[in-house]
Chains A and B, each alone.
Chain A
Amino acid sequence: MNIDKIMAGVEQRHMKESLPEFRVGDTVDVHVRIKEGERERVQVFTGTVIGKKHGGIRQTFTVRRIVAGEGVERVFPFHSPFVEKVEVKRQGKVRRAKLYYLRDRVGKATKVKERRDQSTKPAGRPRKRRGPAKAAAAATTKAATPTTA
Chain B
Amino acid sequence: MTPTLIGKKLKMTQIYDDAGQVVPVTIVLAGPCQVVQVKTVENDGYQAAQIGFDDAKVKRTTKPEQGHFKKWSCPTPKRVVREVALDEGETPEPGSQLDVSVFEEITYVDVIGTSKGRGFQGTIKRHNASTGPKSHGSKSYRLVGSIGMHTWPARVLKGRKLPGQMGNKRTTARNLKIVKIEKDHNLLYIKGAVPGPTNGYVVVRRAKTKS
Contacts and interface: CB of A to CB of B under 8 A. Distances in A.
B14 A58 contact: yes
Contacts, number: 36
Interface in A78-125: 79-82
B27 A7 contact: yes
Contacts of B22: 77, 80
A73 to B, nearest CB: 19
A100 to B, nearest CB: 25
Interface string B107-126: 00000000000000000000
Nearest to B15: A14
Contacts of A44: none
- What is the interface residue range for chain A against chain B? 10 to 19
Contact of A10 (B16, B20, B187, B199): B187
A88 B27 CA distance: 36
B62 to A, nearest CB: 26
Given A3-B198, A14-B16, A57-B15, 6 more contacts: A6-B27, A7-B13, A13-B182, A14-B15, A77-B22, A81-B20
Among all A-B residue pairs, the 10 with the closest Cβ atoms: A81-B20, A14-B15, A82-B20, A7-B11, A3-B10, A10-B27, A81-B16, A11-B13, A6-B10, A7-B10
